[in-house]
Each structure stands twice: as C-alpha cells, then as structure tokens.
C-alpha cells in the first residue's frame, strides 16, 4: 500500500472576480494583502481553447494565496450574486482579538460593512462581502481553540455517524442513493 503524502498547506484557493482593479482594491488596500501576481492569458493552459482572462494572486502571511480569475467574456451577473455562507466563504486568520478588532476598524474605515465579532466558541469572527459577492470572514482562535479541536477530533467520526443516521432519509429523498454514495 502506498503511504499518502502529507499536504502541507493550501497554495491557493481561487474564485471568479467581476473586475481585477476592484478586487485589487479590496484585497490589497482594504485587507492589506500583498498583490504578488496579475497574469494575463489569451488561452486556457493545457488546451487550445481561446479565452482572455487575468489571474490575480494575493499573498497570505503563511505564504499561501487567495486568487481570482477576471474572465469578462464568459462572466454573467449571476456569478457575482451574494452566496450563502454555507455554500462558499473564505476565512482569513489574524493573531488575536486585538488584531481582529483592528482589522474590523480598518475595513470599516474604507466604508465597508464588517459585522461582528461573533463568538463561535473556539474562534471569533467578523464578516463582510468582497466586491464579487464572496463572503469574507476575518477570524482569530480563542484561548480554548486547541482544547476544543482536540476534543472534537476524538468524537468527530461518531458525530458524523450520528448525523448521517439522523439525516440520511431526508437526503435520500432529496438526492437519491447514487448521489450520496459516491466514492469515486
């Protein structure tokens, strides 16, 4: 059996953006992330398909990136409708409650609404939407974060088993067996 390789971190998570400059303003000016690349292309890599787009990369403190595609030729207004946070959001971490409150103040100084902090019992978070309809969460771990996560790690599989038992019938009616039992 082949041992799995350890994934060390996320290199980047990528989302669609409405406008490269508007997105640069939010992530660089408002949030303070460093713009590391703005790559313009005329075709999709690995294919002969012609498509003009720009790929932006903003660097996080751990060396990872949040990235965006500005592809105006195939963008629609529906791409930029606000999403439910359960469908998609990105949480960016700061070190401590003081940094969280300072970031919230900074965001609000640019005229952006930034709700919170919300105490989740193991993290505290503030929330806003970027110019593309993506919910952005600024979060910090609370003093009991590691303790909560250590406990949850010991009960996670049984929690999932109980949850699955409670919700399976509804999901079967909604999605069907084939959708719930995909392993490939």
Question: pLDDT digits over 7-58, tens only?
Answer: 888 999 999 999 999 999 999 999 999 999 999 999 988 888 899 999 999 9
Residue 91's pLDDT band, with cuts at 50, 70 and 90, is very high
Residue 111's pLDDT band, with cuts at 50, 70 and 90, is very high
Q: Does 12-141 carry CATH code 3.10.180.10?
A: yes
Sheet holding 50-59, edge to edge: 12-17, 65-70, 50-59, 34-43
Name the segment(s) of the chain with CATH classification 3.10.180.10.
12-141
Instruction: Report the predicted TM-score, pTM, of the whole model to 2 decimal places.
Output: 0.89
């Amino acid at each position: 059996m082949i041992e799995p390789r350890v994934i060390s971190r996320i290199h980047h998570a990528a989302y669609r953006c409405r406008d490269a400059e508007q997105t640069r303003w939010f992530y660089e000016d408002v949030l303070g992330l460093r713009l590391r690349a703005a790559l313009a292309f005329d075709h999709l890599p690995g294919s002969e398909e012609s498509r003009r787009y720009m790929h932006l990369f903003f660097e996080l403190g751990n060396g990872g990136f949040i990235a965006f595609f500005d592809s105006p030729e195939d963008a629609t207004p529906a791409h930029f409708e606000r999403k439910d946070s359960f469908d998609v959001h990105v949480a960016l971490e700061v070190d401590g409650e003081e940094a969280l409150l300072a970031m919230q103040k900074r965001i609000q100084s640019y005229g952006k609404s930034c709700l919170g902090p919300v105490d989740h019992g193991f993290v505290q978070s503030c929330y806003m939407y970027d110019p593309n309809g993506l919910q952005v969460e600024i979060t910090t771990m609370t003093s009991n974060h590691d303790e909560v996560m250590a406990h949850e790690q010991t009960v996670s599989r049984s929690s999932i088993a109980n949850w699955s038992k409670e919700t399976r019938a509804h999901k079967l009616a909604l999605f069907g067996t084939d959708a719930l039992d995909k392993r490939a």
